[in-house]
Structure 1
Amino acid sequence: LASFAHDYAWADKHKMIMTNPYLNLPVSAVVREHHEDIHKDSLTFVGIDGYYLTEKYVLPHKNYIIVGSVEECVNAIREKKADIAFIPTYSAEKLLQKPQNARLFYYSLADIPYKISFALDENCDPLLFSIINKAVNSLTEIEINNAIYNNTLYLKEPDTIQIFLYKHFFLITILFFTVLIFIIFLAFLASINFRRRRANEALSKANHELQKAFSYAEQANRAKTDFLSRISHEIRTPIHIITGMTDLSFDKISDQDFIFDALKKISSASDYLLALVNDVLDMSRIERGKTVINNDSFFISSVMDTIASLFEGKTKDKGIQLLIRTNKIENDYVYGDREHIEQVLINLLDNALKYTEKGKIEVTVFEEKRASVFSLFTFVVKDTGQGIESERLRSIWEPFEKGKTKIKTKGSFGLGLSIVKSLVHLMGGTVQVESTPNEGSAFLFSVPLKILQATKEKRRKSDSIGEIEEMYNKEKILVVEDNDLNADIVRMMLERKNLTVDIVHDGKEAVDRLLETEAAYYNLVLMDIRMPVMDGREATKLIRNSDREDLKTIPIVAMSADAFAEEIKLAQSVGMNEYLTKPVRSESLYAMVYLFLRGDKKASL
């Protein structure tokens, strides 16, 4: 008869039978420092030879040592021979009271059960087993607690000389100890009061943090609901125009004037919808930290030329004068993020154009004193529009913030200025606004740019290609597009320029068609990215890795709705020369075709 951990599997293995458990011992981990995962293999475990806890929780690990007693386990932890030991909590409490173990600590492990029962040989007298089991079951909680009290934590240590002297001198020095006890009592009360105050402060702080977190969650939920409400309204408005004018056009198909006017309104609504989608995607990228700053060399004057070409027609149609001034800069060739500078200027000019009915819009760039090889360039977009009230100057940078105006604006959904602020800050710059109601506004943003020595400009030729009126001589273009309607639209656009168009519907068909045709049969490939069977990137890899020299250099232009920078880099990495983002506008398509059929055939991303 002996006491063992209550484990029927162990009993069966050793041909034993077990009584019901009579004691549930709490188990603790004794350590020198806290471990998040107490079962990871990098730790060294220590256990007692033949101990249930050793066999169950120590031996399965890779690193362990075996000792002869609980006290040796604690010594191994203290002497850094091991990192962790599993022992009963009562033993841990007793052993860690010793001064040499003061730097060790333990914490209880609720997930490790350790119940104690009696075990007998399986061939023992059944009556004897029954009697013992009934005796175990009859033990009361008080009896068990008394056993724990007398044999574990509360086991009295033998008196030492110091304790003996202390007991006898107490009678002689009673006054001193009375005062001492009184002081200790006061200190104890102060300690309790201090702990209570600390606990109250911690509870108050936790409640405050909880209230703040709850408030933030409510604000986030309201913001999400408000965003969905606003974006739903902004999306449905142009869709209503598109579907409404389309339905009316079917009824008045013979009225050319009405059809022309309906197409203009449909085009305007689709532009608005596309701008909204682009701005929402920009905001999403910015908020998720996915916006990448791409620095490269460029000319400030080239940026201003691009802005002028984009807005000359729009301002002329509205009867507004557009002035572009670059004479305030000394250095034209710089190193920075041209793409985002252009995007900020476009958003600011769009905003100025919306709220200006007459007068002019000026775009000026200034260069301030250089520090080493850097200059601070300040771009100013000034208009003679309706202006902004002083109390709204701070809120205009918030998403979906629109000014109160009697001017009918299209595309005004309130994301442009929020994107401007975020992009300028990402480029390490600042942005501000000055405005007088009924007189106009001036938006200024400054960005630091590195000054470069003037050399031949490195820029994509497609940036400087204006409206293309070129007609071609039946050059052959392969369009790879799985959507029939998209393919037909591109085909009709290209056939207007006297180009021959073949259409295939996935990447595999494209590879097969190019390999089947004679060398240099096609002049250009327009490749969709996401397609069934084989996508555009995989098809481009196979085309570039083919044995035919003409396929290694044939221009391949990606044509996809994926507008993220990561997708463009992936397209570049597999050998695509350029990237057109859907929806593809005719002027962008013609500029790209001109670039490769009449311009620089080696242009690339």
Structure 2
Amino acid sequence: MVSITASIWNINKKIDYIVSHPYRVVSEISKVQTAVAHNNRYLPILLADNENNIDEIRDILRASREKNQKSLEVMKTQYLGDPKDIIILEAALNDLDMAMLKSADVFEGQKRDSQEVTQYFEHEIEALRLHVEDDLKTIKDFSSNKVLELRDRADESSQRAIVYAVALGILLLVFTFYLLRNENSRNEELNRRQEVLQDALNSAKKANDAKRAFLSRMSHEIRTPMNAIIGMTTIAFNYLDDQKRLTDCLSKITFSSKHLLMLINDVLDMSKIEDGKLNVNNETFDLKKLVGALVDIHYPQAIAKDQSFEVVISGFEEEKLIGDPLRVNQILINLLSNAIKFTPKGGKIKLDIKKLRCRRDKIWLRFVVQDNGIGMKQEFLEHLYEPFEQADNGVAKKYGGTGLGMAITKNLVSLMDGAINVKSEENVGTSFSVDLPFGLPKTEVTANPTLDELKVLVVDDDRDCCEHTSILLEKMGVYVDWVLNGYEAVGKVRTSLESGQGCYDVCFIDWCMPDLNGVETAKRIREYVGPDTLIIIISAYDWSAIEQQARAAGVDAFIPKPFFASTLYNTLLTVSQKGELNIEAIESAKANYEFHGQKILLAEDNDLNAEIAVELLHLVGLEVDCAENGQEALDMFLQSAPDEYALVLMDIQMPVMNGYDAAKAMRNSPHAAASDIPIIAMTANAFRDDVQAALDAGMNGHLPKPIDVDVLYQTIAGYVK
């Protein structure tokens, strides 16, 4: 831009130069030429016709001379050529002027056509005039050429200036556009910041309103269980002699205390999350145990509301995972509790666990919690994971809660590098999908007894359950058939017998099926197969209500859903082992071992395993008390006399309380035999880590399943005299 301005200034300077130098010289030369020509032409006439005007003629000549001198002065300062040219011209003009003045003196009074005048002008004046003309021409030609040269330069400079000007105009336009765009961007940025600030202000106001509403709700939520605790405590003091009323009060106090603890935990967890102090652990845990605990917690809640509750696992057989079981449990408890809370009576709750993908030592699982409850409005879904948010005050008042559960759940999922998605429709239901990654521990592979001689039939109206069970069994070497209803199952059994393919060794039959339920299906199958086939009812529900009816129909045992590989494997091992107990083994055991008068406490949740173990123990004279879970075994031990039990056989994977925890509780109890009583683990978990875990829990030894009769008796003999 500076160069363009300088170029334009230079052009103007050149134009001024042309005007003030060569061009002006040419102009002055023209004046001199005019004066010379005028004097030369008209002086003879004046001399001849103005006899009385000699003085005026002299004045005219002097005036002309003065004008010429002025022109010469201008030319001296403006002429760009050789200064001698001006000096020569000046001398020639002086000679001419002097000759002109002389003519006025010499030829005064003579006629125009006088021969002397004519000769003087032709010879003297004309020669001087021509000399002046030549000098003028020299100066004029030089100055004219200079004018043309400078004009050409000016034209070139003008063209460049035009190009520069156009470029400058374009640059100015671009620069102006850039400034306008930047200004527009700044305005947009200012508007955006204003919107952000306004949104932040609105969010802050909304957060404050939500927190005020939260504090109001929390005041009510906390006071409700506190009132119950205080009130029930007061009532309990007045009924110390009434065991039934006291138990009722303590039960309600316990429930209210747990509810109050849940509220406090939510607030503390949210506080930790906001402060960035909530950590995620990585440890090996048992998915089967975690799912069992979820079922134990939520199944009674669902039954209390007349809801169906189901857990389905499909697509994988891994049970040991590396992750944070506490946080996984917390996520699923939040989702399942909400599903039960916001689903009316008669509704359905389902937890579906499936494998997304598996790579080397890592597996991704998807947990889907579905319900057909009240659902949520689409506009609320945008704020679902915000702290202190609930759909509306009516929901808060009707269902209670802190409004922190989903915010905590979202943060826990994020901390575990997972993802959570929700689909919901008002008055239709809600589906939460949680994808979480887990590590897979390195385990030692142990040889397992072959099951390839077993033939199994699976009957379930859930196709995913059938396919999942079939995959697990086929990996164990079992021949598997599956059908989707009771009528097909009965037809399958009949066809197998009539075609000579033989009877099924085991039939797994779902309890709740449409048209023909599990008990009726078992009854009809039993009519065809007789006593040789083992019929097992599978169910996600408490089967105590139908147990008597089922056994009358020919059912041998019950196992819970969802199916895990270890559950199926242990059951089939029991079936296989039961067939291997022959007369020779029994007689050999009776001859070598005898423990009459001794009593053993057996903790075993599987009916078939318990039946076999009791039979083997009775063969050598042992009395047996059976417990169905770790908590029941602990209670029986605590209520026993100091020397009542000679030994405890403890299964590991049990509901309510597992074998490890039960053994630790026994060792730490005030019972007189707590430190001395032998506790032997009896489980299908036969890895080195499992053996060490049993010893760490305070157990004395480890018996792997399936039970080897000689090893069992030899182990007992080492502790029972």
Q: What is the TM-score of this pair, normalised by structure 1?
A: 0.42
Q: What is the TM-score of this pair, normalised by structure 2?
A: 0.36
Q: Is the strand fraction higher in 1 or 2?
A: 1
Name the larger-Rg structure. Answer: 2
